[in-house]
Amino acid sequence: MSLILDGTNGLSDVDGTAAAPAIRGTDANTGIFFPAADTIAFSEGGVEAARFDSAGNMGIGTSSPAEKLSVAGAIRVHTASSAGFTVDAKGGLFDFVPAANNVRVGYVPGTSGVNTGILSFVVGSGSEAARIDTSGNLLVGTTTANGKMTTFVGSGQVGYYTNKSSAGGGLDHAQYYTDGGLQGKITQTGGFTTVSDYRLKNDVVPLSGMLEKVCKLNPVSYTLAAFNQKQFGFIAHELQEELPVFVDGQKDAVNEDGSVAPQSVDYPKIVAVLTAAIQEQQAIIVSLQDTLTALTTRITALEGAAA
């Protein structure tokens, strides 16, 4: 080992190892060593902790960094506050772009112990754009979850948009699954389908008595208040009296905050009821036609006998 102090050269000719680094303090197994050409490594307790390789990549917890910074293990960067975040010393914040172009990802700890924080995303103006909460819900434009994915949009914006290139002809835009498998899909041509395969159905029986039910329904026209738009349909609680299976929710229900918890109607499934009613009506018409034909034949025969 040579130590040259001439204003140009320093410590040289010793590479060292993780267990016995070339440059160290009073702790013999903690310091700097040189495991390969153009490579600088750092050891702690006789184990390599980090290195700069010959490509200028830095690895922390790995001796084979693939990028300018490769980390094997968790990363934690925290600050007291920044645009879009207010976090304590346990919070995490990553700034990807200078403050003038806010792009940040932050972990904000919860208030009720471990595993209660959220992952928050800030872009543009510095306000929160999206978050993933502790239940795994994705929220965009809102901080209140109403399902696994909740979006809130302003006037003139689209809540959900998807576009498929014509090169993907015949493929679906979206598919919907439950634990039982595929339940429905939106096709590239704009159609909406739900699963109706006979192999997935039990206790199949024909519908009957639908004409009587349909005659009791009250189809109406109305103006949809939120959009001042004229529409046609049913009043949910009225339809529920005759066809409850097609209506979700209860009449006059409210949410915890006092807002309306609206009922909804599964309109596509009403088609089966209407079809059955039409068939029953057609059977009546055919029966009346047969009766009229027989009556006409009888009258003609009686008129002929009288002549």
Whether 215 and 182 share a structural domain? no
Specify the pLDDT at position 50. 96
120 phi and psi, to 5 degrees? Answer: -120, 145
Which tokens go with 303?
A: 């008129």
On the question of pLDDT at 251 being above 90, the answer is yes
Residue 93 in this model has a pLDDT that exceeds 90: no
Whether residue 223 is found in the same domain as residue 133: no
The CA-atom distances, in angstroms, between 181 and each of 48, 50, 176, 177, 201 are 49, 47, 8, 5, 13
* pLDDT surpassing 60 at residue 3: no
pLDDT value, residue 14: 81
Map residue 278 onto helix, strand or coil. Answer: helix
CA distance 135 to 91: 18
Backbone angles phi, psi at 243, to 5 degrees: -135, 70
Clarify whether residues 33 and 89 are in a common domain. Answer: no
pLDDT at 88: 44
Q: Closest Cα to residue 268, out of 209, 205, 183, 202?
A: 183
Q: Is residue 76 assigned to a domain?
A: no
Residue 181, amino acid: G
Q: Do 150 and 136 meet the contact criterion of CB atoms below 8 Å apart?
A: no
- Residue 108 in contact with residue 88, Cβ under 8 Å? no
CB atoms within 10 A of CB 4: 11
Are residues 248 and 305 both part of a single domain? yes
| Whether residue 57 is found in the same domain as residue 87 | no
pLDDT of residue 4: 45
Q: Are 195 and 214 members of one domain?
A: no
The residue type at 282: Q
Residue 90 has pLDDT above 50, yes or no: no
Q: Is 49 a residue whose pLDDT tops 80?
A: yes
Mean pLDDT of 165-184: 72
* pLDDT score, position 112: 44
What is the count of structural domains for the chain?
A: 4
For residue 215, the SS3 value is helix
Say whether pLDDT at 37 is over 80.
Answer: yes
Q: What is the pLDDT of residues 180-238, one digit of tens each?
A: 788 888 877 778 888 889 998 999 999 999 999 999 999 999 999 988 999 999 999 99
Are 147 and 180 contained in the same domain? no
* Single-letter residue type at 241: E
If you average pLDDT over every residue of the chain, what do you get? 82
HSE-up of residue 44 (Cα within 13 Å, Cβ side)? 5
83: pLDDT strictly greater than 80? no
Task: Please determine, for residue 96, whether its predicted confidence score (pLDDT) is greater than 70.
Answer: no
CATH code of 218's domain: 1.10.10.10
Residues with Cβ within 8 Å of residue 201, at least 6 apart in sequence: none
Residues 299 and 221 in one domain: yes
E strands, 160-228, where?
172-178, 181-187, 192-194, 220-224
Question: 269 and 221 in one domain?
Answer: yes
Residues 196 and 212 in one domain: no
117 and 134 Cβ atoms separated by less than 8 Å: yes
Whether residue 239 is predicted with pLDDT greater than 90 in this model: the reply is yes
Looking at residues 152-163, what average pLDDT do you find? 76
Query: H-helix or E-strand containing 302?
Result: helix 270-306
pLDDT value of residue 2:
42
113 vs 108, higher pLDDT: 108
**305 & 284 share domain:** yes
Write out the H or E segment, with its range, that includes residue 237.
helix 236-242
Of the given ranges (30-44, 45-59, 134-148), which has the lowest mean pLDDT?
134-148
Weakest-pLDDT range from 29-38, 191-200, 268-277? 191-200
The residue with greater pLDDT, 100 or 34, is 34
Residue written as token pair 């429905």: 184
For residues 31 and 16, the answer to whether their CB atoms sit within 8 Å is yes
State the residue for tokens 């159609």: 191
Closest to 83 measured CA to CA, from 121, 138, 119, 45:
121
Q: Is residue 164 a part of any domain in this protein? A: no
DSSP, collapsed to helix, strand or coil, labels residue 173 as: strand
| Residue span of the structural domain in which 214 resides | 205-307
Q: Provide the token pair at 191.
A: 């159609």
Establish if 160 belongs to a structural domain. no
Q: Which residue has the tokens 């680094």?
A: 21
The reply to whether 275 and 301 lie within a common domain is yes
